[in-house]
Structure 1
Amino acid sequence: MKILICPDKFKGSLTALEVGEALTRGIRKVRSEAQITIQSLADGGDGSLAVLRDTLGLQEVSVDTFDHLRRRMRANYFTDGKTAYVELAAASGLALLAEDERDPMKCSTYGTGLLIKHALDAGAERIRLFLDGSATHDLGFGIAAALGFRFLALSGKVIRPNGAALELIRYIEKPTKAKYRQAKIELICDVRNPLLGENGAARIYAPQKGADALAVERLEYGSQSSSGVIEQQFGRSVTNVIGGGAAGGIAAGLYGLFGAEIVAGFPLISELVGLEDQIAAADLVISGEGKLDGQSLEGKVVSGVAELCQRLEKTLILVVGHTELEQFEQVTEIYAVSRLARDLADSMGNAGGYLEEIGEGIANSIPRKSSE
């Protein structure tokens, strides 16, 4: 019996690898002969770089940079020599700021730009930037500034990009070095929101980053104004780009300035780790995530795994922290930690033990072949 365990993380509780290890312990209590492979997965959001680092053996690089408020710090990116993997949250993440420091009007992605610059200077031919958990709304202009772009007001004064500066920018100067202005950038994200409008970056995400009602409207206006400057000077319309609102408009801004490509997270990670081949070689596939709900059907790990299992005619079992869905197409059975735990605190704090119990239950449910 070949079993592939390929979960996403249980956010706030266990990493994807820890989920897989707990299920493996339970399965081996009953089926010690089973050939079990653990493949951690992610959808392009939080935890994606950890999955790729472990699977691809990427080299970690530590760099002196700045946080969102231009305070000195060190942050890391990963590389295989030709491609650099950068996580926006490493230098521009919301979790790096205290509650009273969160203000997208003041925050900038400049520090992330310095990570990208370091990678390009070290010889990287491609940047894969993972967009998740940002504290910023500067359309990625801070990143561009670190690469030599200059943002000018009507008076000709150079402006340091942040959320508040968007409404002031009237002209953008390209960097002189081709390796910066022609940088090949892929933007890895798992959202489809546009830059502007009711479902856009400012109105949906800025309040989560500390913006009040007035700031939200200023960010919306500034985003609209700056997108007009981009279209006029670079010939690219960014307002209707699918996913352009990701991470405070970074996807829209970097598409406009660099022609950056917006890439869905799960298909990329699935390809990089060879997931289809692993599923094809398995007799049983077990996947899961912390919470199974309607969003799980929209480009998340479990929906991607389910599609592959259906195509390859493989049995799929889901193990989750909590489920709001009683059924999931292509799935044989759904196990939930919350059905065993006393309450949410118990479920989060003792998930490993419950997953081990679930793994044992899965193993008992697997029919034995006559040769076993």
Structure 2
Amino acid sequence: MQRIIVIPDSFKGALSSREAGSAIATGLASVTDAEVLVVPIADGGEGTVEAFVAAAGGVLRSATVCGVFYGERVPVHYGLIDPDVAVVETASCAGLPLASGREDTGRATTFGVGEQILDAVSAGARRVIVGAGGSATTDGGTGAAAALGVRFLDAVGEEFVPTGDTLTRIARIDSTPARDRLRDVDVEVMCDISNPLTGSQGAAHVFGPQKGADPASVASLDTGLVHLAGLVERDLGVAIDALPGAGAAGGLAGGLHAFIGATLKPGIDVVLETAGFHDLVKTADLVITGEGRIDGQSLAGKVPIGVAQAVRAAGRAIPVIVLAGSVGQDADTLYDEGITAIVPIGRGPQDLATAIRRTAEDLTATARDVGRLVMACFPADLTR
């Protein structure tokens, strides 16, 4: 064995993709002399900007934008990959960790995402890639759209900035100002899931509980998204209700598609292409990936699945091992996608706060154990 590629997602709330990769590499290096190549990556969620800049070069640009609740201001960084291409991250201003201890997805807004897009355009970007993952929001992208110039009017013609709780107040939508402003700009949304906007598999029902919504709130949020989808089809002539990926970031993906004509793409595909993973894997003997939680929902566009599928597409019959902070229901279904083994990193019973604090240490220890196991299978190549 000559080369191991380490390509984890971020462990949300604990480590960035780069930090997770470094922790895994440290564990492997303690037991094997194989080359360990760390590829920072993200699927549109936390760490997307960092992953792009690491993979493709470029610079970070600072801005101050609306935070997770309207009226708050937070500092953010987005990436300028070259003078014409920018990458912005929903999680940087509307991410769930920013609402920690005060989760209220019905009030959370994506307004800051729209402000980041405008700042990037003012810096000269004509292609803006939006990472749509890890959000605290369920506003259907109306906040971002309002920042871009889309007008949302209520029954008496008053303009306002909707949130998840007030989507049913919208009576008319005018997207002309935003489309005129972004006429020469291509916006791509990196979706970390393939869920539709509404229904039992939609943004509210599947992800609302993770963002603090109780059953009554979930039902109310879904009703709002259904109302929004109906108005979008009536006023803009765009059907987003069942569009795959439209439910990403609480409907931000579907909203940007409807309001400004953004294209939706699986986030993992965009980053793997940018990182040159398809060439790197041609000379790899083992791939280790990972994320904070893996379960049956990971089939919907998460990093480990995208990595495993890319290995398979390259025609490589090499092991793909997933290191996970926690392993949830139906995780065994992922083996059909090319994953060889799923290994939880917890070293014993611990509460969530302790698990998050110990993530780097546990990743290193688990990677060391995986390395020892692989070394036992290939002793001639991996003897230290």
Give the shorter-chain TM-score range: 0.7 to 0.9
Structure 2 matches for 1:20-31, cutoff 5 A? Answer: 20-31=21-32
Distance 1:347 1:367, change over 3 A: farther
Contact 2:197/2:203 (8 A) holds in 1: yes
Secondary structure class of the residue paired with 2:268: helix
Secondary structure class of the residue paired with 1:151: strand
Distance 2:160 2:10 in 1: 41
Distance 2:253 2:371 in 1: 40
Give CA deviations for 1:24-55 in whole Å, capped at 9, x if unaligned.
445445543x3332223333333333222222
Alpha-carbon RMSD:
3.0
Contact 2:148/2:178 (8 A) holds in 1: no
What is the match of residue 59 of structure 1? 59
What is the match of residue 368 of structure 1? 380
Aligned residues: 367
Distance 1:303 1:149, change over 3 A: closer
Distance 1:235 1:10, change over 3 A: closer
Deviation at 1:160, TM superposition (A): 2.4
Distance 1:106 1:289 in 2: 28
Deviation at 1:212, TM superposition (A): 4.3
Distance 1:274 1:296 in 2: 23
Question: Match for 1:86: what amino acid?
Answer: V
Q: Does 1:356 align with 2:368?
A: yes
Distance 1:177 1:44 in 2: 24
Give CA deviations for 1:314-342 in whole Å, capped at 9, x if unaligned.
4224152465649935456665545xx34
Question: Match for 1:316: what amino acid?
Answer: P
Question: Match for 2:270: what amino acid?
Answer: L
Distance 1:344 1:316, change over 3 A: farther
Secondary structure class of the residue paired with 1:285: strand
Secondary structure class of the residue paired with 2:155: coil
Q: Does 1:104 align with 2:105?
A: yes
TM-score if structure 1 supplies the norm length?
Answer: 0.86
What is the match of residue 168 of structure 2? 167
Structure 2 matches for 1:31-110, cutoff 5 A? Answer: 31-32=32-33, 34-67=34-67, 68-80=69-81, 81-100=83-102, 102-110=103-111
What is the match of residue 251 of structure 1? 253
Identity of matched residues, %: 33
Question: Match for 2:72: what amino acid?
Answer: R
Deviation at 1:170, TM superposition (A): 2.0
Distance 1:251 1:176, change over 3 A: closer
- Provide structure 2 residue ranges, at least 5 long, that are not aligned to the other structure: none
Give CA deviations for 1:343-367 in whole Å, capped at 9, x if unaligned.
3568762312342343244234324
Deviation at 1:277, TM superposition (A): 0.3
Distance 2:165 2:206 in 1: 18
Distance 1:222 1:293 in 2: 28
Give CA deviations for 1:129-161 in whole Å, capped at 9, x if unaligned.
111222222211211111122211222211222
